[in-house]
Chain A
Amino acid sequence: MSQIAFNEEALKTAQRIIARYPKGKEKSALIPLLHLAQAEFDGWLSPETMDYVASLLSIQSIEAYEVASFYSMFNLQPVGKCVLEVCRTSSCWLLGAEDVVRHIEKRLGIHVGETTADGMFTLKTVECLGSCGTAPMLQCGADYYENLTLEKVDNLIANLKQDGSRRTYPKPAPVKIES
């Protein structure tokens, strides 16, 4: 067995999430727990990480793999500290998403789907993120960057680089459970 395990705080969060569902239906917690695991373990889900999540829910590992591979937000390969996800659909595309993508590719010297050599940035294109009225946009971690111009993109990249920290989805907020 691997040594992957949540720290105490993450484990508490996981238990709170599991408690939201009726007895016997704990598998419902799978997607929230995969999010939590991805945030805890470097922004991606290794087979060992998925095995661990499956063990928390007493389900087969394959049940975690088949779910993780279905949803586009789960990374099954290592990613950079900042994953730049540029919306490429519909209104974003009508208003210049292709320019944003090309600009970032040139700026970082990578193509869509690749990670910079220093491990700082991964560039992805994604489908509609519900930001059509503020197009074009990109998401990095939980944050939406909207009404983009090439200057804004440059600033964003510079700021993320300077900050240097990993951008992941925030851990789900604690939920009050009535006993």
Chain B
Amino acid sequence: MSRKLLLANDHVEGIRRLDVYRKHGGYNALEKALKTMTPEQIVEEVKASGLRGRGGAGFPTGMKWSFLAKPEGVARYLVCNADESEPGTFKDRYLMERIPHALIEGMIASSFALGARTSYIYIRGEYFYVANILEEAIAEAYEAGLLGKNILNSGFDHDCYVQVGAGAYICGEETALLESLEGKRGNPRIKPPFPAIAGLYGCPTVVNNVETIAAVVPIIQMTGAEYAKIGVGKSTGTKLISASGHINKPGVYEIELGVPVEEFIYSDAYCGGIRNGKQLKAVVAGGSSVPILPAHLILKTASGEPRLMTYESLSDGGFATGTMLGSGGFIVMDEDTSIVKNLWNFSRFYHHESCGQCSPCREGTGWMEKILHNIVEGHGTPEDVELLWDIQGKIEGKTICPLGDAAAWPVASAIRHFKDEFMQYVTRPQSIKDVKHYYRVHQLAEA
């Protein structure tokens, strides 16, 4: 089993409460930070740890922090991105629901490092019950002098608030999130300026994912150098993986980066293999946006090396034969899955969630959804497949925010790796009536 830094105590009874959390070492890192370290030292530790953004982009956190502008007399903000809307991803929900203080402690310590007097946790509206859990934890922290004025007699003042969204995938994009937090529609901003210069209310702002902020706690506790020893190469530390789909043991797993993909899928310590004794067909390894890979390419790289759960190994081969670690939303599909129908499902999602600002995304996502629906219904032509390829290429890289790329990549990769299946749909539509494409719920109940 992997070493656990974030979820070591996730099954301890009452760990949601402050007293139990503290009994298991909670807030020791904050105490260490406030009493023995300068803000600059914490930033250095985070840099040394090699921690990379856990929301999907994988950008080095320490570097992001060091970009934060610090003009005199201007407020700075830390904003936690708890919007978690990437299909296949549910790790942040698990962490916040089980151990809310892990996030709160990370928020306070990170805010100290960044010199932020106020922080906001922007959580998706559907997680309303989780927001209430966080509110309770925050109230406990105020009560214990861990939030508010002069925290632990350090002279550091900090207020942390929870802000609830209202149902929009796009608000996981950091500038759309800031717009939403300012009470507006979630339309991403044009960059530059980046939030580090002009973010919330035009002030310097760092936006970090829940898991990233929570990881700052063990980094302070064990030092960045020790944290960097875990993992492989530039993929340091542990990562929460949300495993779902046709597997025996769906759930959230904390892994040391570097676990072989094959072990992750088949070991009883993780996914426990494919349901009902079926064969593996494909995996979407990092949330619905990242390229889908067929079984042989997810288990081994094109050069025959075992594929590892790291940023580098998963992207080995570029988009031709590789994918991305992304948010760690690991969706497994068995031999009965229709890749074409699944792609239609994904495309419908991106069409629904496009904010409508940029025409390539607004028009392209709807167009792709319609073409795919046509194909799925048996009315497609080979030219439709060519057209899909053409459209996705005209969205990628041509929009203000990465939602356009996120909508294009699944289409490109599905056609790249499963062209035969598309051709079956468009040349022999009568044969697709027999395509089984998802489990029937009553079969599941029997299984």
Contact = CB atoms under 8 A, between A and B. Distances in A.
B168 A72 contact: yes
Binding site secondary structure of chain B? mixed
A167 B292 CA distance: 38
Interface in B75-114: 75, 84-90, 92-93
A178 B183 contact: no
A94 B245 contact: yes
Interface string B177-200: 000111111100000000000000
Interface centre among B75, B125, B246 (most CB of A within 10 A): B125
Contacts of A135: 244, 250
Contacts of A93: 342, 345, 438
A132 B88 contact: yes
Nearest to B329: A132
Contacts of A8: none
B131 to A, nearest CB: 7
A73 B167 contact: yes
A157 B112 CA distance: 49
B349 A94 contact: no
A22 B127 contact: no
Interface string B239-265: 000111110001110000000000000
Given A142-B129, A175-B161, A127 B441 contact: no
B183 A28 contact: yes
Interface stretch (A63-71, A111-119, A158-166): A63-71
Contacts of B445: 149-151
Contact of B438 (A22, A63, A95, A103): A95
B168 A130 contact: no
A27 B149 contact: no
Interface string B114-132: 0000100000111111011
Interface residues on B, range: 35 or more
Contact of A132 (B89, B124, B162): B89
Nearest to B246: A94
A169 to B, nearest CB: 5
Given A91-B331, A130-B127, A178 B166 contact: no
Given A130-B84, A132-B329, A149 B444 contact: yes
A96 B353 contact: no
B54 to A, nearest CB: 15
B349 A172 contact: no
Contacts of A132: 87-90, 242, 244-245, 250, 329, 331
Q: Which of A95, A132, A139, A177 has the most CB of B within 10 A?
A: A132
A149 B441 CA distance: 6
B441 to A, nearest CB: 4
A179 to B, nearest CB: 9
A127 B126 CA distance: 11
Given A90-B345, A136-B441, A176-B142, 15 more contacts: A30-B183, A32-B164, A63-B183, A94-B342, A95-B245, A95-B444, A99-B441, A127-B353, A128-B86, A130-B126, A132-B88, A133-B250, A149-B444, A170-B129, A173-B139
